[in-house]
Amino acid sequence: MKNKILYLTTVLIWGSTWLAIEYQLGSVAVEVSLAYRFALAAVIMWVYCWWKKVPMKFSTRNHIFIALLALGNFSANYVVLYYAQNYLTSAMTSIAFSTLLLMNIVNTRLFFGQPIALRIYLGAVLGVSGIVALFWNDLQSVDMGSESLWGLGLALIGTVIASLGNMTSVRNSNEGMNIFATNAWGMLYGSVGLAGFALVSGAEFTFSFELSYLLSLLYLAVFGSVIAFASYFSLLKNLGPEKASYLIVLFPIVAVILSGIFEGFIWTANTFVGFILVLIGNVIVLTSKEKVRSFYQRFLVRSKQIEVECL
């Protein structure tokens, strides 16, 4: 039940952040907005850890891995993905980012030697196919010229960075490092790195006092960063990367629902096909071999009962 709550929380929050991010774009540079977001998230995490008396001391070696976590999940991945959207539609970027599921499966095998069940590959393929179906019309309308290919390359690079960050999180959990403490340090490192990158790139440190910007910034920092990352990293620890990261393919579904409510998104046959593929893939990935065997045995028993009743 705990994992189901964490799973649902992460999907709903990160699925809704796409809408919140729209209110962050425009008057404030992307790097600066991200620096604000993770600086605020870091403050919240540090206050929480101080309140709960969470141990914050780590060895120098572990601090290096926390810095790698920050690079992969709290800074570089976001910057690259935002740049990608200068060349691609948000739908295309979402499709590219949904490959995080497959990348996590491959990286789990490469870095941890963990065998991957066949059903997980099947579920992953169905999930990604569902995302493609959801945004098939957008995919067809994209001009795959040099700029689009460049944007797709950036999106995939950002996804690779995020996957490596996920692997770092798994490594840190395997070392017994507290998730809240590592996130607090990681968000601090991420915000400092983003601010440094903004200075080097010549971005202007402006701020918007528009209510939409302030509310979206607060939502992205508290819910999109503090709560969602804590939930997701807990799932990485409890379920493993191949199962936990499947929620990545559910984000666009939440985004489509919110778009239908707030932006008048029109449902099509592709939308329904995409939902069906993603849900089937989800069931396949999250259903263990033991549950399948138990269901099959109950099915056989019930079939025999029905046969006897008919006779």
Contact 223, 172 (CB under 8 A): no
- Spatial CB neighbours of 43, under 8 Å, sequence gap ≥ 6: none
The one-letter amino acid at 269: A
Segments forming the whole domain that contains residue 276: 2-310
Asked if 131 and 95 touch (Cβ cutoff 8 Å), the reply is yes
Token look-up 């690259």 returns 80
Token pair, residue 298, equals 């109950």
Retrieve residue 195's tokens: 């601010």
**Torsion angles phi and psi, residue 131, rounded to 5:** -65, -45
d(CA 243, CA 240): 6
Tell me, what amino acid is at 273?
Answer: V
CA-wise closest residue to 75 among 204, 210, 168: 168
Asked if 37 and 217 touch (Cβ cutoff 8 Å), the reply is: yes
Locate tokens 């789990």: which residue? 108
pLDDT of residue 269: 84
HSE toward the beta carbon, residue 39, CA cutoff 13 A: 12
Other C-beta atoms lying within 10 Å of the C-beta of residue 97: 22
Q: Which residue type occupies 55?
A: P
Collect all residues with Cβ–Cβ distance below 8 Å to 123 and sequence separation of at least 6. 246, 281, 282, 283, 284, 285, 286
DSSP state of 308: H
Element (H, E) at 201: helix 179-201
Report H helices in 52-99: 60-73, 76-84, 90-97
**pLDDT one digit per residue (tens) for the chain, 311 residues:** 578 888 888 888 988 887 788 788 778 998 999 999 999 999 999 999 999 999 999 999 999 999 999 999 999 999 998 788 777 766 677 777 878 877 888 898 889 887 777 777 888 888 788 878 877 776 776 665 657 778 888 989 999 999 999 999 989 988 999 989 999 999 999 999 999 999 999 999 999 999 999 999 999 999 999 998 888 888 888 887 767 767 777 777 787 777 777 767 677 788 788 878 887 877 777 676 676 666 657 766 666 776 666 65
Q: What confidence score (pLDDT) does residue 292 get?
A: 62
What domain count does the chain have? 1
C-beta separation of 230 from 183 below 8 A: yes
Say how far apart CA 217 and CA 114 lie, in whole Å: 38
Amino acid present at 3:
N
Q: CA separation (Å) from 53 to 180, 185, 311?
A: 11, 15, 68
Rounded Cα–Cα distance for residues 179 and 296 (Å): 38
Looking at residue 40, what is its pLDDT? 96
Looking at residue 72, the DSSP 8-state letter turns out to be H
